[in-house]
Chains A and B, each alone.
Chain A
Amino acid sequence: DAGVIQSPRHEVTEMGQEVTLRCKPISGHDYLFWYRQTMMRGLELLIYFNNNVPIDDSGMPEDRFSAKMPNASFSTLKIQPSEPRDSAVYFCASSLGLAGALRPTDTQYFGPGTRLTVL
């Protein structure tokens, strides 16, 4: 079975440009998560969706960041305009459920990540 797919794997752009990161969750998973990993802040949740609806976007750093999930098999994270401090690895993860039931379906499975460098 295919895992979570992210594209591109690497992105280098210049400050001020728009960046779009893409994610395809595992088929059948109802939850999709976007995380950011930096040396300073570690792994932090940006936003998550349930059945394509954003549930919690409190981790989105500022209005330059936006995320959408137009259907069950695709999500995007957009940064416009990008800044050097946005340089990080961005992970997408998906799960069948949320932690809250005594079953393993809440486990989040991560994609390979997109390494973003903003010059």
Chain B
Amino acid sequence: AQKVTQAQTEISVVEKEDVTLDCVYETRDTTYYLFWYKQPPSGELVFLIRRNSFDEQNEISGRYSWNFQKSTSSFNFTITASQVVDSAVYFCALSEYRYRPGNQGGKLIFGQGTELSVKP
């Protein structure tokens, strides 16, 4: 069964610290997709990144970076030099693609989220 685990419920850091949010996933499929979404205090869900299972290259976007390791089924998210505006709940999500009839691929399975608080 598909499952996403974000073991860190809450993290609190001081501005300019680096912080890593962990994400561990379970899937039986060889083709799958991983996502990170941000939910700021205003409540909307903002897409951050999408990664497919064939691409293990790490990605960097400004102060954000993602480390994908299939060997450990992890897709961790690091914020460098954190800022107060980074305070939010961050969700990791998994989507499978199945070539079987009755394909139900594409459903996003979310982790429970990690609430990041960045203090000035």
Query: Is A99 a contact partner of B105 (Cβ separation < 8 A)?
Result: yes
17 chain-A/chain-B pairs, Cβ below 8 angstroms:
A31-B106, A42-B110, A42-B113, A43-B91, A43-B110, A56-B107, A97-B106, A98-B97, A99-B96, A100-B97, A106-B33, A107-B50, A108-B108, A109-B47, A110-B45, A112-B44, A113-B44
Query: Is A45 a contact partner of B43 (Cβ separation < 8 A)?
Result: no
A45 and B95 CA atoms in complex are apart in Å by 12
Interface size class of B (residues with CB under 8 A): 20 to 34
Query: Is B33 a contact partner of A99 (Cβ separation < 8 A)?
Result: yes
Contact of A100 among B42, B103, B113 (CB under 8 A): B103
A-B contact sample (12 more), CB < 8 A, given A48-B107, A99-B32, A112-B43? A43-B91, A55-B104, A56-B104, A98-B105, A98-B106, A100-B31, A100-B105, A100-B106, A102-B54, A110-B44, A110-B47, A111-B44
Query: Is B45 a contact partner of A106 (Cβ separation < 8 A)?
Result: no
Residues in B neighbouring A48, C-beta threshold 8 A: 106-107
Chain A residues with a Cβ under 8 A of chain B: 31, 33, 42-45, 48, 55-56, 89, 91, 93, 95, 97-100, 102, 104, 106-113, 115
A89 and B42 CA atoms in complex are apart in Å by 12
Contacts A100-B97, A102-B54; A107 near B106 (Cβ below 8 A): no
In this complex, what residue of B is CB-closest to A111?
A: B44
In this complex, what residue of A is CB-closest to B99?
A: A100
Residues in B neighbouring A108, C-beta threshold 8 A: 47, 108
Residues in B neighbouring A43, C-beta threshold 8 A: 91, 108, 110, 113
Quote the shortest CB–CB distance from B23 to chain A (angstroms): 14
In this complex, what residue of B is CB-closest to A115?
A: B43
The answer, yes or no, to whether B64 is at the interface (CB within 8 Å) is no
Quote the shortest CB–CB distance from A42 to chain B (angstroms): 5
Residues in B neighbouring A93, C-beta threshold 8 A: 45
Quote the shortest CB–CB distance from A17 to chain B (angstroms): 23
A108 and B48 CA atoms in complex are apart in Å by 11
